[in-house]
Structure 1
Amino acid sequence: MASQAIEAQREGAEIYQGEEICKQKTVELLNEIELPNGLLFLEEIEEVGYNRKTGFVWLKRNKAVTHLFHTIDKDVMYGEEIYAFVEKGKLKKIHGVKSKELLVWVTIGDIHIDEKHPDKITFQNRLTGLSRTFPVSAFTDEELEKKKKDGEVKVVN
Structure 2
Amino acid sequence: MRKKSVELLEELGPPQGLLPMEDIQEFGYNRETGFMWLLQGKKKVEHTFKKIKQTVSYAAEVTAFVEKGKLSKITGVKTKELMLWLSVVEVYVPEASPEKVTFKTGTGLSDSFDAAAFALGE
- Range into which the TM-score falls when normalised by the shorter chain: over 0.9
| Cα deviation code 1:12-64 (max 9, x no counterpart) | xxxxxxxxxx1110111000111111000131111000011100000001221
Q: Which letter maps to 2:15?
A: P
Matched, 1:86 2:74: no
Of 111, 114, 124, 2:104 maps to 124
**Alpha-carbon separation, structure 2, partners of 1:122 and 1:78:** 18
Name stretches of at least 5 consecutive residues in structure 2 with no aligned partner.
Answer: none
Larger Rg computed on CA atoms: 1
Q: Runs of 4 or more off by more than 2 Å in structure 1?
A: none
Structure 2 residue matching 1:115: 3-state secondary structure: coil
Name stretches of at least 5 consecutive residues in structure 1 with no aligned partner.
Answer: 1-21, 144-157
Cα drift, residue 142 of structure 1: 5.1
**Alpha-carbon separation, structure 2, partners of 1:68 and 1:129:** 22
RMSD over equivalenced CA pairs, Å? 1.1
Structure 1 residue matching 2:98: 3-state secondary structure: coil
Which TM-score applies when normalising by structure 2? Answer: 0.95
Count, aligned residues = 121
Of Structure 1 and Structure 2, the greater strand share is in 2
Matched, 1:104 2:80: no
Identity over aligned pairs, percent: 50
Which TM-score applies when normalising by structure 1? Answer: 0.75
Q: Which letter maps to 1:60?
A: L
Per the alignment, residue 66 of structure 1 pairs with 46
Of 45, 70, 75, 2:55 maps to 75
CA contact (8 A) 2:36 2:64 kept: yes
Q: Which letter maps to 1:49?
A: G
Of Structure 1 and Structure 2, the greater helix share is in 1
